[in-house]
Structures are given as C-alpha cells and as structure tokens.
Structure 1
Amino acid sequence: MRYELSDEEWIALKPMLPNKPRGVPRVNDPRVLNGIFWVLRSGAPWRDLPNNFGPYTTCYNRFVRWRRAGVWARIMSALAGPHDAAVQMIDTSIVRVHQHGACINRNRKQSMGRSRGGLTSKIHAVVDTNGLPIRLDLTAGEAHDNRLAGKLLSGLKSGALLLADRGYDADWIRTLVAEKGAWANIPPRCNRNEPICFSPYLYRARNLVERFFNRLKHCRRVATRYDKLAANYLAFVQLASIRLWLRVNEFTS
C-alpha cells in the first residue's frame, strides 16, 4: 500500500524505537507505524484508517503515547545529529487550521492565531546545507518570523553560514550569530542606515529551505492543521521530517 515504510527505512528506524522487554508484547510495530504514516500522508481522520493497519485506536494511542514520551522528538534529533552544519537556513511557513482543529478554548495556547488567512499556525524550521530539517517549532500564525530565532539558532556552529530573509534582519540576531562565530548573510531592510555586508550570490542557496517546506506539505496532515493540540500537530511535522531523513539515508547508503 502507498505511504508504507520500505524495508530499508524500517531497518534504519527499528533501533531507535522504545524497547519493551517486559509485559505484554507490543502490537506489530511496522503495521502500526505504517498506519501512522498513512494518516500523515493522506490527511484522513484516524477513524478512516484502512483495516489492514489494525484498529485505528491502536495507531492513535501509539502515536499519542510516544509523542508524550518524546519518542518522535528523539528520533528526529538522532537522525539530524550528523547533519552538515556548514550552511544553515531558517524560515517559517503558514498553515491554515481546519475548522475541526479550531474548536478548543484558548487557541493561543495551542499555537493558533488570527492572521490574514484566518485561524493559522506557523511552522519555524532550521535546515542544513542539504535542505534537511534540524530543528522545528510552532507559534501562532500572526507571530513574527524571528520570535523563535534565538531558540532555533542555539545549535549554530562556529564558522557556519546562516541564510535568512529580511524578516530576520535584526541587530540582536546578527549579534547572536556573531557571538557563535558564524556569519549571517541576511538582506538588509530598506530602513537601515548603516551598510551591511550581504552576498546575493550566496543568498540564492536559501531556496533549499523553501523546497523543504514544499516537501513537508506533501503530507496533507501537515499542509492543513486538523489537530486541536499543538503537541500533536508538531509531532506530525516531526514525523514528516523523519521520513525525509529516512529517504535521504536510504538513497545514500
């Protein structure tokens, strides 16, 4: 069936899954994971999960339980650990919140906010030299692009090059990058008085982060937010990123 893990992807993923040496044996891991990835890619409700993946409650409960245990975040960190840190790119992407995900009180606490597109969330991402995700986070849709820049750029390496658009042209961001021994190649805003060193040629490589968001949104569960809880939606974003890493590792191994 479409969207299932290949044998190579499963071999790479298996050692990173939680070990359960005691108690009742866990339901077939590949079947459950394939069910979770099917929902991620198709965007269908959990109740519409095909029968060959088993009960939808099993897949949903496993997804939520491992999200609470930090499994998805740990797998993402493990896969992104050996990334190419020579060039890093930071950007955001707006996602529309579906009406089924908007029926929870205090939406702001769940990274939902009002913007031109209605109720939206914003994905913040840092990608490496190859356009693969390193760090991810969420805010409400109307939040400024650079709100999480300090957190996301905490792993910036000395000697690295940071590429970002004008939304990140702030003195505190340039200072943060310089303190880490890196160089920020960010186009200056038109209201800047002092000259800023900027290379349009190097800036052209920033399209990799845009292409990352395009690939991320091939997963319909990411392209539109159906989840009421920000933690569940971020887990789907992490799963989509995990799949990108697995596929790259499969082709390069």
Structure 2
Amino acid sequence: MTTKILALTDGLGNLVEFCLMPGQAHDLRETDTLIRDLTAGHLLADRAFDADWLRNDLLARDITPVIPPKSNRRFPADFDKETCKWRHLIENYFGKLNENRWIAMRSCKTDHSFTACISIAATILHIR
C-alpha cells in the first residue's frame, strides 16, 4: 500500500492545497477536485496531467495550461517551454517535504494522521 500526494503550489512554490490518493491511482483522478476553485494565469503540470478534458476545462476558465504532451499523443498540444521550466518549484517543494523522515517513510497508519503530518511539515516550511 502506497500513497500519492497530489499538491497545488503557488508561483513561489508554497503549498496551497493537497490531497492524498492511493499509490496505484492515476494522478488525474483527484485533479478535478483539487483545481475546482482555482483562479490563476497558468497551471504548470507534468506529462501525467496531459488530458484533453483538463486542457479544455482550464482554457474555459481562462487559465493557460503549461503541460508537456505525452509521447504517444497523435497530435501533441503546444505548450510554453520557457514557462514550463518553472515547474521545478513543485519538485523542490516535494524535496523539502521529504526531508522529514516521517513523511518520506509514511510512518503514520491512517490517512487522517498522515494529512496532519503533511500540514505540520508545510507549516514549518512556510515559517522558514
């Protein structure tokens, strides 16, 4: 049993929202609930989030999707490669979050306590 953390950060790499998912679940499964109330200029994501419904939803809300296309797409979507370079902020955030051994090793037994641990670690990172 593994757990995925689906996180949304702001333009500075600070955690805004997150949710837990089963490790075997696809990343897109909880994306809709995570970005439901999102208001932003751009949404940067990795290839796992390359789906037409997500791109169309973002464009309908005047949010520019910056998502590299999957290699198996027949007609790859365009994306801004320079803006996509800022995606490292979320990767850096996960690196900082995983510095806490109790998060990296998932030492909590329940999702509720694991969510609390992530919230505490995010607060400590924000205070630094």
Fold similarity call, TM over 0.5: yes
Query: In 2, are the aligned partners of 1:131 and 1:212 still within 8 Å (CA)?
Result: yes
Equivalence for 1:46 = none
CA distance in 2, matches of 1:195, 1:147: 22
Q: 1:134 deviation in Å?
A: 0.4
> Sequence identity, in percent?
34
Which residues in structure 2 correspond to 1:168-247 (within 5 Å)? 168-247=49-128
Higher relative contact order (CA 8 A, sep 6+): 1
- Looking at structure 2, the residues matched to 224 and 237 of structure 1 have their Cα atoms a distance apart, in angstroms, of 12
| Paired residues, number | 128
The match for 1:38 is none
The residue aligned with 2:16 is 134
What is the CA–CA distance in structure 1 between the aligned matches of 2:110 and 2:37, rounded to whole Å?
27
1:110-129 correspondence to structure 2 within 5 Å: 119-129=1-11
What's the secondary structure of 2:90's corresponding residue?
A: helix
Larger Rg: 1
Detail structure 1 runs of 4+ shifted over 4 Å in the superposition.
none
Q: Quote the Cα distance in structure 1 between the aligned partners of 2:70 and 2:38.
A: 23
More helix by share: 1
Deviation at 1:191, TM superposition (A): 2.5
**SS state of the match for residue 123, structure 2?**
helix
Paired with 1:146 and 1:195, the residues of 2 have a C-alpha distance of: 18
Counterparts of 2:105 and 2:76 in 1: how far apart (Å)? 40
Instruction: Write the deviation string for residues 73-110 of structure 1: whole angstroms up to 9, x where unpaired.
Output: xxxxxxxxxxxxxxxxxxxxxxxxxxxxxxxxxxxxxx
1:136–1:238 CA contact under 8 A, matched in 2: no
Q: Note the residue ranges of structure 2 that are not aligned, 5 or more in a row.
A: none
Residue 197 of structure 1: how far off its partner (Å): 1.8
Give the Cα separation in 2 of the matches to 1:149 and 1:190.
21
Mapping 1:1-40, distance limit 5 Å: none
Gaps of 5+ in 1: 1-118, 248-253
Q: How far apart, CA to CA, are the structure 1 residues paired with 2:44 and 2:92? A: 14
Task: State the Cα distance separating 1:195 from its structure 2 match.
Answer: 4.3
Q: CA RMSD in A?
A: 1.3
